[in-house]
Amino acid sequence: MGRKKIKFALGSSLIVGAIGYLIATGINSTSTYFFTVSELMDQKVSFHGTGLKVKGNVVAGSIERDPGDYLNVQFAIEEKNRNLNVVYQGVTPDMFQDGGEVVVEGALDEQGVFHANTLLTSCPSKYEAEKEAGGMHPGTLPDYKPKLEPDPRKVDFLPKTTI
């Protein structure tokens, strides 16, 4: 093997190794665990301070807003009769309500309170039932069908300019 080939192979392996290292560290730093409430409560491992996503339904009557700062919200989510207390600061989505399905993203503290920095809601199942029955999901448009099919070979198809 010539000296140029050895330099090329060494340089290529360094570049590939550096890219692999950056990909691995990027995935580790942005990855989060996704659990339902009951799965999180059944874990034997402590996830305090670890990035988590937790899915559950808002417990009816548990939503409490701070009167001094309306953006501070405390509520509980449940799944299979297991509850998790959540603290969130920010604007809540329009679909955030008692019994609604939510996904919260954040971290668990030592007392077992989940501090969410992201709050997502999903569409209620009633929209899925309407969609299956032929109804429209909110935010969708009916099928658009133009009344006249334009013929590009005709002069009337071209835009008209008046002077």
List, for residues 18-36, the tens digit of each pLDDT value.
Answer: 999 998 888 766 667 889 9
Q: Is the pLDDT of residue 131 over 70?
A: no
How far does CA 46 lie from the centroid of its chain?
24
Strands 52-58 and 33-36: parallel
Contacts of 61 (CB under 8 A, 6+ apart): 98
> Among 114, 56, 48, which residue's Cα sits nearest to residue 86?
114
- The Cα-based distances of 42 to 38, 58, 82 in angstroms read 6, 19, 10
Contact 1, 8 (CB under 8 A): no
Each residue's pLDDT tens digit, 35-48: 999 998 888 777 87
